[in-house]
Structure formats: C-alpha cells, structure tokens
C-alpha cells in the first residue's frame, strides 16, 4: 500500500479518495473548503492538511482533481503548493480536466524538481467516481505510469497510457467532442419523435437495438423525455471543457463545426438558467418556445 495525498474533494474527488482509503492506502487530503476535508477525514479515519504542501509531504503519489488550469496551478505551484511538499521521486497524478498546455507546463516544472507528472483526466461522471468505474486517459512517461497504475486502478474501470505528456488531456477532448455531438443528436431525435406524435420511450427501445445504440441513449433518454436534468455532468462544466478543446483545435487545425455549434447551444441552455443541469438538457433548448 502507498502513502497518497488527494487534493480536491469535489463531487469526483471525494469518492475517488474514498476508494483509495478503503483499499488500504494511507491518505492525507486537502480541500480549499477545510470543512469538507475534515468531513472526509472523519468519515474515512484519515488525515487532512491545511495546505497542499503539507498534504503532499512524504506522499509517494499526489492525486489532484480540481476545476481548471488556474485552480490546478494554485494547488500545485508556489510556496504552499503540492510540488513544494513532494520529495524527489514522488509522482503527481492530475485528474483535472484541463488544457494540454498546462499539463506540459507542470511536467517541465516537475522534472526540474525530480518529480514525476501524469495528466490523467477522467470520464464517467459522479456515478463512475462513486462506483470505481471511471475511464482514465493518461499522458506521461511509461515508467511513471507503470508505478502509478496500481493506485489509479483503484477507482478505474479502464486506464490507459495514451502517449507523451498532454495526451491524456487531448484524449479527454476527443471524449467531450463525441459526447456533445451524441447528446445533440439524441435531443433532436427525441424532439422529432414527440413532434411526430410517436411514443418516445417506444421509439428509443426499438432503435436502441440497432445502429443508433449509445450509452447516452441507454442512460439518458428516460430523464430527457421527463425533462429531468439532475443526473450528471453539469452544462457549466461542459462549456469549460468545450472552451479548452475548441482553443486546442484553433491551434492544431482541427475542424469542429458541430462541436462549435453545440457549444453555442449549451450557451443557450445557460441563458435559460440551466447551467447546473446535466448535459442532456440540450433537449430543453429545442422545447423552449423561442427555439421551437
């Protein structure tokens, strides 16, 4: 068992850290809201620290799961950041969905301190985190991944090294491109079925047995038909991810016309007050009177 620090106890990090504790790893946690760190530490009979630096002291692995590039820098860099507390040879595994550029930036700084760094964003949402069924896409050096993989697998259904530093984040961008297009297509299909007078549930049951089948269809169509959007990844978070990947596309030359359009559709959902609705709420935009 390893000595592990976990930084960031949000809807994803809290259960992920819990799986590590239940597996027998020695945990010290940090959260920007100290009360949540204290709650987690009490629940799992572990320890919490007042700064990332103190949480990371003596840890073989430091797992981070925060909001964005700036949040990541704030808990990793500086006098109270995780890097300042890590000993040479320790590895920081970043589960934040962030830019490939910040991954490369932090990898360089880690190397200068004789530390390892892996960018390892996750997919699977809150349910995946709670059920230890996350898909984890990793970028970094193979030797570092080999050392960290047994710890990462504690909450993973699938984990794979995708290539050099930044490759994990780039693969997560591929994931979000697919999700955006699939959810928009499913929203339009359900909307069309209802406008055509069909039984939406029956239509989905039939087409789910053919080429239209997808995870989104299987897991989201019932809630979408009911207008219930409290089952996963929030629109605000999706727009953050789409902003990152569209910026990456501007630099690498990828043409993403559908993704750019879906991003604007999510902006419409935000304007409707749906920033905290889950990503399947694209259907609400189609049903809104001004979008009919």
The CATH number that applies at residue 272 is 1.10.1040.10
Q: Is the pLDDT of residue 290 over 90?
A: no
Domain boundary (163, 193, 222) is at: 163
177 and 270 share a domain? yes
What is the rounded average pLDDT of the residues 226-240?
94
Contact status, residue 148 vs residue 168, Cβ threshold 8 Å: no
Tell me: the pLDDT tens digits for 173-210? 999 999 999 999 999 999 999 999 999 999 999 999 99
Domain boundary (163, 179, 196) is at: 163
Given pLDDT bands bounded at 50, 70 and 90, which one contains residue 288?
A: confident
Q: What's the predicted TM-score (pTM) here?
A: 0.94
What is the rounded average pLDDT of the residues 32-47?
97
197 and 146 share a domain? no
133 and 258 share a domain? no
111 and 199 share a domain? no
145 and 190 share a domain? no
Q: Catalytic: which of 3, 36, 172, 209?
A: 172
Tell me: the pLDDT tens digits for 85-128? 999 999 999 999 999 999 999 999 999 999 999 999 999 989 99
Given pLDDT bands bounded at 50, 70 and 90, which one contains residue 232?
A: confident
127 and 217 share a domain? no
Q: Is the pLDDT of residue 289 over 80?
A: no
User: What CATH number is associated with residue 30?
Assistant: 3.40.50.720
What is the rounded average pLDDT of the residues 18-46?
97
62 and 89 share a domain? yes
Residues of the domain holding 281: 170-291
Alpha carbon separation from 31 to 5, 9, 99 (Å, rounded):
11, 6, 22
Instruction: Pick the closest to residue 60 from 26, 18, 37 (CA basis).
Output: 26
What pLDDT does residue 231 have? 85
Bridge partner residues of 27 (DSSP): 4
179 and 135 share a domain? no
15 and 116 share a domain? yes
Dihedral of alpha carbons 122, 123, 127, 128, sign: negative
10 and 101 share a domain? yes
Q: Is 3 among the catalytic positions?
A: no
Q: What residues contact 87, with CB distance under 8 A and at least 6 apart? A: 57, 58
What is the rounded average pLDDT of the residues 27-54?
97
8 and 128 share a domain? yes
Q: Is the pLDDT of residue 291 over 70?
A: no
What is the rounded average pLDDT of the residues 54-66?
98
Dihedral of alpha carbons 279, 280, 286, 288, sign: negative
> Average pLDDT of the chain?
96
Domain boundary (144, 163, 182) is at: 163
Q: How many domains does the chain have?
A: 2
% helix, strand, coil for the chain, step of 5: 55, 15, 30
Scanning the structure block, which residue is given the tokens 């960290």? 148
Given pLDDT bands bounded at 50, 70 and 90, which one contains residue 22?
A: very high
83 and 177 share a domain? no
């Amino acid at each position: 068992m390893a000595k592990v620090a976990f930084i960031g106890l949000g809807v994803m990090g809290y259960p992920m850290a819990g799986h590590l504790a239940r597996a027998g790893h020695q945990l010290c946690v940090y959260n920007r809201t100290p009360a949540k760190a204290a709650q987690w530490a009490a629940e799992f009979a572990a320890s919490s620290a007042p700064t990332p630096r103190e949480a990371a002291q003596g840890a073989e692995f430091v797992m981070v799961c925060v909001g964005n590039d700036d949040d990541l820098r704030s808990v990793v860099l500086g006098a109270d950041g995780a890097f300042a507390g890590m000993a040479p040879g320790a590895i920081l595994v970043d589960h934040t969905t962030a830019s490939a550029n910040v991954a490369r930036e932090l990898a360089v700084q880690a190397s200068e301190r004789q530390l390892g760094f892996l960018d390892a964003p996750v997919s699977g949402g809150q349910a995946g985190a709670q059920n230890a069924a996350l898909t984890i896409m990793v970028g970094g050096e193979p030797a570092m991944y080999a050392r960290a993989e047994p710890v990462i697998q504690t909450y993973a259904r699938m984990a794979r090294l995708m290539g050099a530093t930044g490759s994990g984040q780039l693969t997560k961008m591929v994931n979000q491109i697919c999700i955006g297009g699939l959810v928009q297509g499913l929203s339009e299909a359900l909307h069309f079925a209802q406008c055509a007078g069909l039984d939406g549930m029956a239509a989905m049951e039939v087409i789910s047995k053919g080429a239209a089948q997808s995870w989104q269809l299987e897991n989201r169509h019932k809630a979408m038909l009911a207008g219930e959007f409290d089952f996963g990844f929030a629109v605000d978070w999706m727009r953050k991810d789409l902003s990152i990947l569209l910026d990456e596309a501007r630099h690498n030359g990828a043409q993403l016309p559908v993704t750019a359009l879906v991003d604007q559709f999510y902006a419409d959902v935000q304007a409707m007050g749906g920033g905290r609705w889950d990503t399947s709420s694209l259907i609400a935009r189609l049903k809104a009177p001004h979008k009919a």
